[in-house]
């Protein structure tokens, strides 16, 4: 690994445990085949990087988006789901929603993923997409919806920072 590769690895892996670190925000074009360029810092220059896409529903303060998790983060989520009680209807609904609506994508030789048509439609992604880092996963947003959530984040910033 060259010195510049090491600095990139450190920038994308602050805790040194091998887990990918997704930070920053990017806005990219969506081509006619719904392909989206994943930032090279997020895929470490590799091809064939897999992500699980999970449509995240609208909340009271936040529009719907797509959550993109690397396999190791999704495996963590699966462990949490396995700890939930079978007798809990909310847990059953969550497991079913995630299992039936998740899809796996892989980067091509140019570092792009293809966003399935139904997923793109569900979150109104058309010609442009915002990729927003969320530490151990990232989100895909239509630029208009991201502007809404970003404004809400700005309003809650002092409250949010009180968590740390």
Residues 6+ apart with CB under 8 A from 57: 64
Per-residue pLDDT at 10: 36
Residue 13, pLDDT above cutoff 50 = no
pLDDT > 50? residue 140: yes
The conformation of residue 115, written as its DSSP 8-state character, comes to -
For 14-53, write each residue's pLDDT tens digit.
445 567 899 999 999 999 999 999 999 898 778 889 999 9
* Residue pLDDT, tens place only, 80-127: 888 888 888 988 888 888 888 899 999 999 999 999 999 999 999 999
Instruction: Report whether 132 contacts 123 (CB < 8 A).
Output: no
For residue 7, pLDDT beyond 50: no
The domain ranges of the chain are 20-161
pLDDT at residue 82, as a whole number: 86
Spatial distance between the Cα atoms of 149 and 87, rounded to a whole number of angstroms: 34
Can you say whether the dihedral through the CA atoms of 99, 75, 8, 25 is positive or negative?
positive
Q: Taking the domain 20-161, which CATH number applies?
A: 3.40.1550.20
């Amino acid at each position: 690994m060259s010195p510049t590769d090491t600095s990139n690895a450190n920038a994308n892996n602050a805790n040194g445990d091998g887990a990918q670190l997704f930070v920053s925000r990017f806005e990219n074009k969506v081509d006619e085949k719904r392909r989206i360029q994943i930032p090279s810092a997020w895929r470490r220059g590799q091809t064939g990087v897999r992500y699980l896409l999970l449509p995240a529903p609208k909340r009271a303060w936040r529009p719907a988006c797509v959550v993109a998790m690397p396999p190791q983060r999704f495996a963590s989520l699966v462990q949490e789901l396995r700890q939930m009680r079978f007798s809990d209807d909310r847990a059953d609904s969550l497991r079913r929603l995630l299992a039936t609506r998740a899809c796996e994508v892989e980067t091509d030789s140019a570092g792009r993923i293809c966003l399935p048509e139904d997923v793109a439609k569900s979150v109104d992604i058309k010609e442009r997409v915002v990729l927003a880092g969320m530490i151990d996963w990232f989100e895909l947003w239509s630029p208009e919806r991201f502007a809404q959530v970003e404004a809400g984040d700005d309003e809650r910033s002092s409250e949010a920072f009180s968590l740390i």
